[in-house]
Amino acid sequence: MSFWLKVITTVSAAVCIVSLLALSGLASRTTEGERTDRSVPGWQSMPAAASDTGAMTSTLQLLSGILPVVADQGNQLVDRLAEINNAPGVVRNELLLSFKSPEALAAFRARAAGQGLRVVSSDPRLLSARVRYDSPEAMARELRDNADDYENIGLNYLVWVPGMPDETQTDANNAGGRQPYGDSGLAAIGATGDRSTWGRGVSVALLDTGVTEHPSLSGTQVVHYDLVKDGTPPNGHGTAMASLIAGTGEDEGGAATASRLMDIRVADVNGESNTALVADGIMQAVDQGARVINISLGTTGDSAVLRRAVAYAVERGVVIVAAAGNEQQTTLSYPAGYEGVISVGAMDAEGVQAYFSNSGETLTISAPGVGIVSAYSNGRTVIGSGTSQATAITTGVVSTLLGWGYLPQNIVSTLTSSAQQTGAPQDKVGAGLLQVPKR
């Protein structure tokens, strides 16, 4: 199915969910779609995309004042929940509940099982709970009877490794850069010379598909946490990002080779995750002492729970770097679109905005993202393109700066002031092409 046909089909599916539910966003589902270039040494065939089905759906946003009205509407809320469970782009039979107080969250947890509701996870720091239900009637009853306890009720959106639009499609939203770097892109950002101490003492959390052993990571300290726990192996994307952050390989190495990596697996073998799991991953990273969090994943669904997790990390001095997305859109994926996040777009080897890269007024910076050499699973070396790669390269520079003694609150200003300007508008490429500041 073509990229734009996916958009038309899924927007049509979303229309049926409006009614009493306030429409507040769209969530997209795409798949890994990295480009390859056989001219680059070390090229091996890329794995096929896991799926070619994509989807967008509206969000369940029951704002204050709506729930009391719904209480008098008979089965309308039940019907809406049933419709949502037939919509693509969300985890079926789940809601993300945000509460007004710790007491309200505790009271919900105490009564949930008796109402046939399963609390998959909850976090008192975020005043939130991920809830699974088999009966729309039971879920609707809980929402009606305890409306005053809720700050927000939202969907658990699917989050994916950014996919790639069809290259034959027009790219009116960007400059269309396609020239591959032919290497890791480190020379283009000034990450040259002896990098053996870059990132020393800095823990970098990688929220992705998991990291496997690879020669380029043989000297890198990696601690693994699996939040997916589905028994499937990592699909390679996480290993690629790890190598672009801290790899020591000549071709597939990263800027911050002395960084400690915290592999937090939040996405399955198909590159699929959800907003609740990504939020859990952020909290895990903060708990384990990460100073930087790399999120080369995204969704266009605005989640209150994910937004709270991002704010929690940023308030504690943790730097979050996230991919702008690959949909040729003029809005950023989430969490890149949240305040306090370093959002990263992609450029090609000629300093032109990549044909696939999302953009927007809050885009922070751009980095090499076309024809990037990286590690992959099973010891392979591959060439890929995407804002994922650009994000990992940027994370490596952030880790380096923290290792050099830069304060977290000064990282954004340092990156933007040292960026190489290209003449492109800021809403297309942010401050410009990422550069390592001179010491």
The encoded tokens of residue 296 equal 């080369």
Amino acid, single-letter form, for residue 53: T
Q: Give CA–CA dist 363/324, Å, rounded.
A: 7
Q: Could you tell me if residue 183 is left (phi over 0), alpha (psi between -120 and 50 degrees) or otherwise beta?
A: beta
53-89: burial string, b at 16+ Cβ within 10 Å, e else: ebbbbbbbbbeeebbeebeeeeeebbebbebbeebbb
Write the CA distances from 387 to 59, 158, 318, 357, integer angstroms.
Answer: 25, 18, 21, 7
What residue has token string 């990450």?
A: 191
HSE value, Cβ hemisphere, 13 Å, CA-based, for 410: 9
Pairwise CA distance, residues 352 & 349, whole Å: 7
- CA nearest to 247, candidates 206, 296, 288: 206
Q: Which two tokens stand for residue 119?
A: 């609390």
Token output for 424: 């492109």
**Collapsed DSSP state (helix, strand, coil) of residue 11:** helix
Phi and psi at residue 287, to the nearest 5°: -60, -35
Going from the C-alpha of 173 to that of each of 28, 203, 296, 298, 372, the distances in angstroms are: 18, 36, 21, 19, 23
DSSP assignments along 109-172, one per residue: HHHHGGGTEEEEEEETTTTEEEEEES-HHHHHHHHHHTGGGEEEEEEEEEEES-----TTS--T
Main-chain dihedrals φ then ψ at residue 410, nearest 5 degrees: -105, 0
Q: CA-CA distance, 98 to 365, in Å (whole number)?
A: 32
What residues are labeled active site? 208, 237, 388
Q: Residue count of the chain, please give it.
A: 439
Cβ contact 381:338 at 8 Å: no
H-assigned helices in 146-274: 237-246
Alpha-carbon gap, residue 298 to 29, rounded angstroms: 9
